[in-house]
Amino acid sequence: MVSCNEVGDKYVKWIYYTANEAVCSRFLHSVWYLIAQDINSDKEFAQVLANNEYVKCYILVDKCYNNPIAFVYVKRESLQDGIVSIHGGGWNKSMRLSILYYRGITLLIEYLQNRGIKVRTSCLIGNTRALRFLYSIGFVKYRTTDTHIYMWINEKRLKQTSIYKRYCKQS
C-alpha cells in the first residue's frame, strides 16, 4: 500500500499513527460509534491496526501548533484495481481547524489519486455531519444499504468543489 506519511503542505501534515495515540477516546462515545461501531477503546483500535496489513492509520497535525487535529484510516479494498477506502474524523470544532481538516483530507485524496489509486468511503446513513462533509468535498453516492451509504470521488470532482478552490488549490 502507498504510504501517506508526511503528505501535507505548510499548514498540515499526515503522520503515521502510533499505538500510544489517543484516537477513539478523543470522541464522545456516540460520535465514535458513527465512525467504528465494533471498536470501543484506543487499545482495541491499536490491536486492530496491528493485526491488519491492509489498513493504515494516519494522524493529521496542525503544523502551526504541532497538535493532532484528526485521524484517518486507509483500507486497501482491491489489490488488482488499486482501490482504497478512507474513514476518520476530526477532534476539534473551530472554523480554523475545520479548514485545516478540509485541507488535510483533500491533500490525502489528491496524493492517492496522483498515484493511480481510486478513493472510496462509506458512512452510516444517520451520520449526517459526515455525509455533508463528504458531499462538500466531491464524494458521490454509488450504493446504499439499509445502514450505509457508499461513495466515490475522482480528481475532477475533488477539484471542482468550492471547498477545494477556496482552501486547497495550489498556487
Note the pLDDT of residue 140.
97
At residue 170, the pLDDT reads 57
**Are 82 and 47 a contacting pair, CB within 8 Å?**
no
pTM of the predicted model as reported, rounded to 2 decimal places: 0.93
Write down the pLDDT at residue 153.
98
pLDDT digits (tens, 9 = 90+) for 60-96: 999 999 999 999 999 999 878 899 999 999 987 788 8
Cα 106 to Cα 122: distance, rounded to the nearest angstrom: 16
- Over residues 5-64, the pLDDT tens digits come to 779 999 999 999 999 899 999 999 999 999 998 999 999 999 999 999 899 999 999 999
The pLDDT score that the predictor gives to residue 5 is: 75
Q: What is the residue extent of each domain of the chain?
A: 12-168
Place of cell 493511480: 116
pLDDT reported for residue 37:
87
Q: Give the Cα separation of 161 and 117 in Å (integer).
A: 20
pLDDT at 171: 41
DSSP label of 8:
B
CA end-to-end distance (rounded Å), the chain = 29
* Angstrom distances, CA of residue 80 to CA of 46, 77, 83, 147: 27, 9, 8, 28
CATH C-level class of 12-168: alpha beta
- Cα–Cα distance, 16 to 60 (Å, whole number): 9
* Residue 79: per-residue pLDDT: 76
Query: 121-165, pLDDT tens digit by residue?
Result: 999 999 999 999 999 999 999 999 999 999 999 999 999 999 888
Sign of the Cα torsion 138, 144, 149, 151 reads negative
